[in-house]
Amino acid sequence: MTYFQRGLLAAVLIAIGFFFWPLLGIGGLIAWSVYSDIRSEPERKRQEAEIAARINRPVTVEDMRFTCESPAEEAFFDAMVSGYKMTTGPGCIAGESIKLRTQVGLGRLRIGRSTAWRQFRGDFLIDEKLVVEIDGETWHGSRDAKARDDARDEVIRAEGYTVLRIPAAVVFKSPAEAVRRVEEARRRLRTAA
C-alpha cells in the first residue's frame, strides 16, 4: 500500500472509531506507521546508497548525497561534485580522474581502558587512499574531541590512509578552498608514490 492509501485507511478507521472505539486504536496505529515510514525515508535512502557503494553498483550523485551526516559534509560534497564534475560511478561517484565515497568504514578504536571497541567511519574517501574529515567546531573543538580525533587518525594512518582534516568553517566560507586543499593532498600523494 502507498502512503496515501494507508493514510486514507487510517483516517477512515479513526472516523469510524468515534462510534466503535477499538477501530480508533487500529486507525491510530496505522497512522503512526505511516508517519514513521515517511520520517525514516531519508535514512532508508542513505542506507541503500551505502549498500550500493559497497557492492560497486552504480551510485548517483543524489543517492550519495543522502549519506552525508551534516550540513558541512553536504556543502563539501557539493563543492567536490561541482569542482570535479562528478557523476555516477561504480560504487562511488567519479569525475575528472577522481573517485569519491562517503561514510566509509575504516577501523576500530578501543574505548578508554575497557575491552569495548568502536567501529568508526571516515566522512569521505578519495581515490582509495585519502580520507577527508570535515570538522565542525561543536563536535571537534574540545580538548577531548581533539584527542579522540588524533587517536582515530593514528588508526587510519596505520591502515595505509592519509588523513586530511578540513574545518567546517572553511567549507562554508570558501568551498573552493576546501577543494584546493583536497587537490593539494592528492598531489602530495601522487608525488610520494
Domain range summary for the chain, segments of one domain joined by +: 3-54, 58-192
Average of per-residue pLDDT values in the chain: 83
The residue ranking higher by pLDDT, 110 or 48, is 48
**Whether residue 173 has pLDDT greater than 90:** yes
Extract the C-alpha cell encoding 145: 574531541
SS3 of 1, please?
Answer: coil
Is the distance from CB of 117 to CB of 109 less than 8 angstroms?
Answer: yes
* Segment 21-33 mean pLDDT: 88
Q: Does 181 score more than 90 pLDDT?
A: yes
In the chain, the amino acid numbered 52 is: A
pLDDT of 114 above 60: no
pLDDT for res 85: 92
CATH of region 58-192, choose from 2.40.110.10, 3.40.50.2300, 3.20.20.70, 3.40.960.10: 3.40.960.10
% of the chain residues with pLDDT over 70 = 82
Q: Which helix (H) or strand (E) holds 148?
A: helix 143-158
Q: What is the pLDDT confidence band of residue 68, given thresholds at 50, 70 and 90?
A: confident
Q: What are phi and psi of 151, to 5 degrees?
A: -65, -40
Please tell me the predicted confidence (pLDDT) of residue 56: 67
Percent of the chain with pLDDT over 90: 30
> Can you give the pLDDT at residue 107?
65
